[in-house]
Amino acid sequence: MCLAVPGKILSIEGDDPLLRSGPVSFGGIVKRISLSCVPDAREGDYVLAHAGFALNVVDEDEAEKVFEYLRQMGDLPEPAE
């Protein structure tokens, strides 16, 4: 239930949604992940992969909001890259 890791979709294969999948890169190591349940995902998107299956596309805007929230609440400096 827990271990899902963000990876970058390198390409997408398969027209049939049940079989849709593609190689996803996790920091350079590549694993084929099912993309059945992320029909809007595009090459270059980041997906959360769990047990060989993409759970969702990572929302990059929301990702940044975590830091905005902290900046509003306190005096968090610019995050280190």
Chain contacts with other proteins (rule: CB under 8 A): 1-8, 17-19, 23, 25-32, 34, 36-39, 46, 48-53, 55-56, 58-60, 62-63, 65-67, 69-70, 73-77, 79-80
DSSP class of residue 75 equals -
Q: Closer to other proteins by CB, 12 or 48: give it.
A: 48
Question: What's the min distance (Å) between Cβ of 6 and other proteins?
Answer: 4
Please state the separation of Cα 8 from the chain's center in Å. 6
Question: What's the min distance (Å) between Cβ of 1 and other proteins?
Answer: 3
DSSP string, 1-65: ----EEEEE---B-SSGGG-EEEEEETTEEEEEE-TT-TT--TT-EEEEETTEEEEE--HHHHHH
Q: Closer to other proteins by CB, 43 or 79: give it.
A: 79
Question: What's the min distance (Å) between Cβ of 32 and other proteins?
Answer: 6
